[in-house]
Amino acid sequence: MRSTVSALVCVVVASLACGGRPKKGAAPAEVHVTGEVIPVGGFTVEVHGASRSRSVGNKLVNHAAPSGATLQIVDVSVKNDGDAPAAMVGHFVLVGGDRTYSPTAECQIALKDSWRLLDPINPGIRHRGRVCFEIPEEAHPDFGFKENLFAQPVVIDLE
């Protein structure tokens, strides 16, 4: 019994460590485009646009990209088509080459009209907001939306 529990714990930890990232060299089955309404499991997702900035915020609350980085800001709406509330933690990513990027908490706080990633979306409700990522200046990743922590992202071209 103890070895079964230990094995299960190892599998769960390994799965969490992977974070649902695409395998190296794995190309998404399909790349969607900005403005396309995309069903993803129990959600409907639409990217409205994207922009880059060196900093966001105001005099009181602000965030600047570190040296060699830029802020990628994605305007996205998500509708919860399921039957239970869903927080957006772990659903938004940027993917490019062998790299995966997560939203930056400090940027989310300073960004006007940003997603509050811990606030759940109730069933049947659509929310729209902006998501901010710190990325290397030379990077040009695509946006990804994951149905859950372990799913591969549905990819949307930002260019």
H/E/C letters for each residue in 30-74? CEEECCCCEEECCEEEEEEEEEEECEEECCCCEEECCCCEEEEEE
What does pTM read for this prediction?
Answer: 0.80
For the segment 91-148, what is each residue's pLDDT rounded down to a tens digit? 999 999 899 999 999 999 998 888 777 789 999 999 999 999 999 999 999 999 999 8
Identity of the residue numbered 63: H
pLDDT of the residue at 91? 92
Angle at 101 (CA atoms; ends 100, 107), nearest 5 degrees: 175
The residue extents of the domains of the chain are: 2-157
**2-157 maps to which CATH number?**
2.60.40.1240
